[in-house]
Amino acid sequence: MTALLTGALAMAPAQAQPPFGAQRAASAGERPRADLFRAAGERHHVPETVLLAVSYLQSRWDDHGGAPSVDAGYGPMHLTDARATLAGASHHADGDPRGDTSRPSLAHRETPVDTDRLPAALETLGRAAALTGLPADRLRTDPGANIEGGAALLAAHQRSAGLPPSTDPAQWYGAVAAYAGAAEAGAARRFADDVFRLINTGESRRTDDGTVVTLTPAPVVPDTRQLDGLGLRPTTPGAECPRELGCDWTPAPYRMLSDEPGDFGNHDLSDRPHNQTIDYIVVHDTEATWDTTLKLVQDPTYVSWHYSLRSADGHVANHLRAKDVGWHAGNWYVNSKAVGLEHEGFLAQGGQWYTEAMYRTSARLVRHLARTYDIPLDRAHVIGHDNVPGTVPATVAGMHQDPGPYWDWDHYFDLLGKPFKPEGSPTSPLVTVHPHYDSHTEPYYCGATPADLCPVHGSASITLRTEPRDDAPLVTDAGIRPSPGTWSVYNHAARVSTGQKYVVAERRGDWTALWYLGQKGWFKEDLRHPKTLPAKGLVARLRPGLDSAPLYGRAYPEPAAYPAGIPVQALVPLQYTLRPDQSYSVGQTVTGEYYHSKTFELAGHTVVRGDLRYHQVQFGHRIMFVKADDVILTTASKIPRVTG
């Protein structure tokens, strides 16, 4: 996301928390999580299955050590307390979301959060406190109190609907639909349907207190007519979205801003996939509340993306047709070939976890897009904003870092139906990054200095060092800073992320080095719980006879491909080079393209195609492009095996 917010969610460091997801045993006197659900359901006359299913869609039954979600929700029941959590904070980066260096950059924008007009959905913890008599601090930090508060809210929604308490889960459809606070009928229906789908299919997992919670499957046919009594607004028709997601059509405006032919916003018309293939789905977080997000995308002078997803209930709003080009990724080549998804949340300020409801609707939307536009479901095509390369050397340092290390790519790809699995030989030199998210913690800091530690939390990223020892400096990214990387949650300079593929450069004892940004990046491996999986695939190596090969942030065509009247886009290499004996994973091979789109009318737009071919490589944390003539491709099985 591109706006700088003057009011983002901020939270104080938590120094004494146990590692999130460490699956610790419940301490003496601490009741197992399952008992807490059972007791709260009995006290408030809420069927245990309903309480469990609602909580799973919010938090997967985890407490998250009392840290808020990206939407200021606390505990297993995701009780929201945004007013207490809102504080001044800055966006994690700034830059031009359009990323077209041939046009003037968009002006920087600051967007305040209106704390005087927060929706009720962001203040459910206060209501739970009033219903239970429990203090707000306990509701935030005590899992038992939090579950008690959630049960009380469900019971209150049942009473508000004029329905009596019932032991029959089928009679709780309306209360469930109201729980997440959606104002849209489609969103409430989809959330309730997902809850009752869980009740029918069941679920079981070990939660972050180390105990197992089980929702035993039970056939239930809910009374969906109860939704009609909630007074919700109808879903706005017209969205490009699977019908069962209940998406709203909230269009981004397209209009002229002055008499200048190129002064228009907030996106570009196109005719994809007929004129250009859609190769990428870009995952963002909004760095803004839901209301602020919708204001930004409806500003004709600013930015645009295709879909927004709300945290509490996973609601989806569609803003652009997939055929058109949004201004979101900061790289015009990527924008012209991508669909952008903004997820409500804040990379660090305000919490480290995203709700299960949002993960699930996002995965269903991505599966739909992948089927419709033939986009491979892998980390070379489903990428984070933090994986998008800079366009030219001057823009590299300002590229964004969302959704960051706390986005659970492993769980996301499980939901996509494409889980990461070992491939090929166990000794393959090509590996897929795959730390165990819940137990893999990194000492990130969320503030301006290393003293401002983030709460301890699971992470999808592994941080790389320059040498195989615990006190070695982190890897240096020459495009970002001349000195070694830092542990700032915003600094991806020395990180690899779940699902990305890299080539092993060396093994030494329990340390492994990957080829990364033209150097060896080391991490300590745990042989009992490996952080990588053997992989299959193509890799690129420097063509014999060359000293080096440049890397590019855009796969633009050669100068001779441009017709008269369309300015030639220079092939500007980035700060990085591929050198002899190094190997990098290849995600796809493309032919150079440039979408010339500088006038309001679609008739004046042109796709310039050349003969120059590029291989997309996983060169660092971000994807980059290398000319096909500069490298040779080989399979991972033919790379010399690394021993140590």
Q: Shortest CA distance to 555 belongs to which of 623, 619, 633, 492?
A: 623
- Res 32: pLDDT: 95
- Res 348: pLDDT: 63
CB crowding 118-137: b at 16 or more within 10 Å, else e: beebbbbbbbbbebbebebe
**Residue 285, in any domain of the structure:** yes
**Residue 206, in any domain of the structure:** yes
Where among 175, 199, 230 does a domain terminate? 230
Task: Tell me the residue type at 386.
Answer: D
Pair 481, 345 in one domain: yes
Pairing type for strands 307-309 and 338-343 reads parallel
Pair 146, 252 in one domain: no
**Residue 236, in any domain of the structure:** no
**Residue 268, in any domain of the structure:** yes
**CA-CA distance, 500 to 587, in Å (whole number)?**
10
**CA-CA distance, 65 to 508, in Å (whole number)?**
36
**CA-CA distance, 366 to 526, in Å (whole number)?**
33
Q: What is the pTM of this model?
A: 0.94
**CA-CA distance, 83 to 352, in Å (whole number)?**
18
**On the CB side of 593, how many CA atoms lie within 13 Å of its CA?**
18
The 3-state DSSP class for residue 284 equals strand
Q: What H or E segment, with its residue span, contains residue 587?
A: strand 583-596
Pair 341, 219 in one domain: no
**Residue 238, in any domain of the structure:** no
Pair 505, 554 in one domain: no
Where among 503, 520, 535 does a domain terminate? 535
Total structural domains in the chain? 3
Structure token pair of residue 174: 């309306």
Looking up residue 300, the CATH number of its domain turns out to be 3.40.80.10
Pair 528, 544 in one domain: no
Pair 567, 482 in one domain: no
**Residue 570, in any domain of the structure:** yes
**Residue 201, in any domain of the structure:** yes
Domain hosting residue 8, numbered range: 4-230
What is the DSSP track for 468-479? SSTTSPBPP-TT
The 3-state DSSP class for residue 364 equals helix
**CA-CA distance, 591 to 556, in Å (whole number)?**
8
Pair 467, 500 in one domain: yes
Structure token pair of residue 224: 């969906």
Q: What H or E segment, with its residue span, contains residue 595?
A: strand 583-596
pLDDT, tens digit, 9 for 90 and up, residues 316-328: 999 999 999 999 9
Which parts of the chain register pLDDT below 50? 2-25, 28, 88-93, 350
Peptide bond into 273 cis (omega under 30): yes
Where among 508, 535, 562 does a domain terminate? 535
CB crowding 318-343: b at 16 or more within 10 Å, else e: bbbbbbbbbbbbbbbbbbbbbbbbbb
**CA-CA distance, 349 to 327, in Å (whole number)?**
24
**CA-CA distance, 59 to 245, in Å (whole number)?**
20
- Res 8: pLDDT: 35
- Res 111: pLDDT: 60
The 3-state DSSP class for residue 621 equals coil
Pair 58, 14 in one domain: yes
Q: Give Cα 57 distance to the centre of its chain.
A: 17
Pair 198, 301 in one domain: no
Pair 48, 172 in one domain: yes
- Res 90: pLDDT: 41
The 3-state DSSP class for residue 560 equals helix
Task: Tell me the residue type at 222.
Answer: P
Pair 129, 150 in one domain: yes
Task: Tell me the residue type at 177.
Answer: A
Which phi and psi angles does 318 have, rounded to 5°?
Answer: -105, 130
Pair 407, 545 in one domain: no
**CA-CA distance, 507 to 642, in Å (whole number)?**
7
Structure token pair of residue 179: 């729980």
* Percentage helix, strand, coil for the chain under 3-state DSSP, each rounded to 5: 25, 25, 50
**CA-CA distance, 303 to 406, in Å (whole number)?**
25
**Residue 307, in any domain of the structure:** yes
Looking up residue 163, the CATH number of its domain turns out to be 1.10.530
- Res 86: pLDDT: 60
